[in-house]
Structure 1
Amino acid sequence: MNSRPSHDALQARDGLALRRSRAALAVLALSGALAACGSSPPVHYYTLQTPAASQPGGPAAGSASFLLEVQPVSLSMQADQPQLMVRTGDGSISALYSERWSSPLGDELRNALSDALKRDLGALDVQMVKPGPGAPIWRVQTDVQRFEMVSGSMAQLDATWRVRPVNAKGTGVLCRSVVTETVTDSEVPSLIAAQQRAVVSLAGVMADAIRGQAPAGSASVQMMGCSALKE
């Protein structure tokens, strides 16, 4: 009698072995993926909006006779990244993929400027309150040329900005400001806090212009010039 396995039996045995091998490889791949996920550093998210409790008190919200229209902020593609871009001492730029903005950087800047201006002026933003026909509005436009964070050194915000009255009395101006805030360590939260202060300082000179005052420089704000806007 021939005791050798039949051709069909051999095929069945080989097929079973192949399926077992594939299943084992799949388990190994899944285990590797889970191990990689477990070893990835946690992602931290940051915002440029400063907590209201850390800001000095200003006029009551809505007490101003005008509204604000803080328009979207434009900035360079290099800076407009979801992760933090930090310049190091040797001049190179590091992308910190585990340190990210909580929303697109342009939105972070617009919202932070709006919050600071509202607190400083007591005005509401038309993004939150629908203006009536002919309502007096101050329109704010911001173009950021440089948005930098230098580890262990400083945070800098270089912006050209415009404030213009719409259905309101006043003179619009076009200015450029360079705001620099010192950082004493290389920790990411310190860099974020410095940029938050820079945005508040930039909003402060914008608020001066809306009040009809000449935007004045300070220890952190360098005014690079202003010109009146034609009607």
Structure 2
Amino acid sequence: MTDVENGSATGAEESREVIGARRGMFGVHGSGDTSGYGGLIREVALPASSPRPYGGYFDEVVDTLVASLGDDAFDAAIERVVVFRDELTLDVRREHLVAVARTLLDEPALRFELCLGVSGVHYPGDVGRELHAVYPLMSITHNRRIRLEVAVPDADPHVPSLYSVYPTTDWHERETYDFFGLVFDGHPALTRIEMPDDWVGHPQRKDYPLGGIPVEYHGAKIPPPDQRRAYN
């Protein structure tokens, strides 16, 4: 590891955002835990903004985006630039998401032609930013990868759809809506894609029940995990 890399990692470690804590190996409470991990407490932290230089082609990507958008527009659109585990993530304010994505697609020196999907993330402890939408992008022209990330509050889970920029996000946005409740404004047909239309709730949120009476499908009740039949 170089001095620059070590310094960047140290700085990020000092300013990272702690949003909660996990207890035990699997987060189980009130069980007869004999694993030895019952007293384990781990912080839940998000990576902090990364200092320059970012390394590799990341600096060139950010510099080109700044030149294309303009300094003021870049500062208004990008909350922070994060380099974590050799990945570049641009945290984008939702009202600027479409403009940033369009620039990343159209600018010849960037040419991120492919959006590989839309992933939802639920951080209940990240108050005011509980729901995140993550977009991995790939430039086939330049063989580069980056990610965009947008954070919105649970009370206002609206994110502009990227369908007009990347039509393949049609299905991905529907799935993220279905499982996390993120509402993609401007999507041509935002409906559930996995769960039935009348399903209540969004199953991949961390506060969604794992089983028992609250989870019901067409009259059939799913028992809690510790009461389910095992076939081994």
Could you state the TM-score of these two structures normalised by the residue count of structure 1?
0.22
Look at both structures and tell me which one has the larger radius of gyration over its CA atoms. Answer: 1
Q: Which has the higher contact order (CA 8 A, sep 6+)?
A: 1
Could you state the TM-score of these two structures normalised by the residue count of structure 2?
0.22
